[in-house]
Amino acid sequence: MAHPPAPSPMLAKAVTSLPDPASVVGGLGYEPKWDGFRGIVSFDGESVEISSRGAKSLTRYFPELVEAFGSQLTEPCVIDGEIVVRRGSAGAERLDWDALSQRIHPAASRIRSLAEETPASFIAFDLIDRDRESLLETPFADRRGSLEQLLSTAVAPLHLSQLTLSVEVARRWLVDFEGAGLDGVVAKPLSAAYAPGKRVMLKVKHHRTADVVALGYRVHASGEGVGSLLLGLYDHTGELRSVGGASAFTAARRLELVAELDHAVMRSADGAVVRGEGERSRFSSGKDVSFIRLEPTMVAEVRYDQMEGSRFRHTVQFYRWRPDRDASSCTFDQLETPVAYDLGDVLS
């Protein structure tokens, strides 16, 4: 029996600070914001289907989760949550985005080995359907209570996300939990129905600025202007290392950037533009990843949320040029390092 299509997940709107519960009729609940793959899990009593935020099937990539759901769930249900991968020893665990992203692999043999080498966990935070009864119109507070009942005996790799009604506790989470690899806090109206595809929830993420060196740029897919700006920082040995990129420029801004960057474009002795070859992955197979090299002289101030190892975790936002800064001063030392926090304490 085929599973019916999973509903689109309810989304969150970004805000700059955690709202007070009194600001929303019915109050707010606060949860950690997990940095993983959103997953809608459908269990019909016999089989399991895991759908992504974009309605793509993730089932084949996480056989260990399919097994866990099949053995631990006791009745048909549809659960909303996040798929994550944990790394590190007890007392020093954190989320591992790179390991999680590697789980999406075309080869069945590789999927099986990765399921053993980097097993995934599922963090449940909402319940959409229980025993074939839709909970879409049910207030979140009641959905949460039902989810707690459903998962009362759940064990790893299935977990129930923490929830607090205290904004003071949530503000502490915003600081502490970043050290475990989480990227913010979500506020949920306790009286709200589940609204597929609607931004009913509120999210606060970490936002910081850094001064980085412009290493090069890729031409936009339209063939006009800067599509993405490649960025770098100097490490402790003096080596300039790639740390990610900035994109999402308007059409007008893409053209302006070409003019602003022109004087820094590397050229050969005969005046030809020097191009570089970007990093390839299975996701960029067949895609042009070449870029136009720039002399490492221009400094940009960018906004970012967090680091994943020595790279920006997400594409950063270009803010402004910093002609007052010397490129050599753009080092990793300027980046704020979160205090380490054990992921096991977040999941407990």
Which residues form the catalytic set? 33
Using alpha carbons, select from 141, 99, 106 the residue that is nearest to residue 121.
Answer: 99
Pairing verdict, β 240-246 and 226-234: antiparallel
Give CA–CA dist 136/161, Å, rounded: 19
Contacts of 165 (CB under 8 A, 6+ apart): 21, 27, 28, 29, 30
Q: Angle CA(31)–CA(150)–CA(7) in degrees, nearest 5?
A: 70
- For 136-165, the DSSP string reads TTS-HHHHHHHHHHHTTT--TTEEEPP-BS
| Cα–Cα distance measured from residue 78 to residue 209, given in angstroms and rounded to the nearest whole number | 39
Residue 167 CB-half CA count within 13 A: 16
Greatest alpha-carbon pair distance for the chain in Å reads 72
Q: Is 75 helix (H, G, I), strand (E, B) or coil?
A: coil
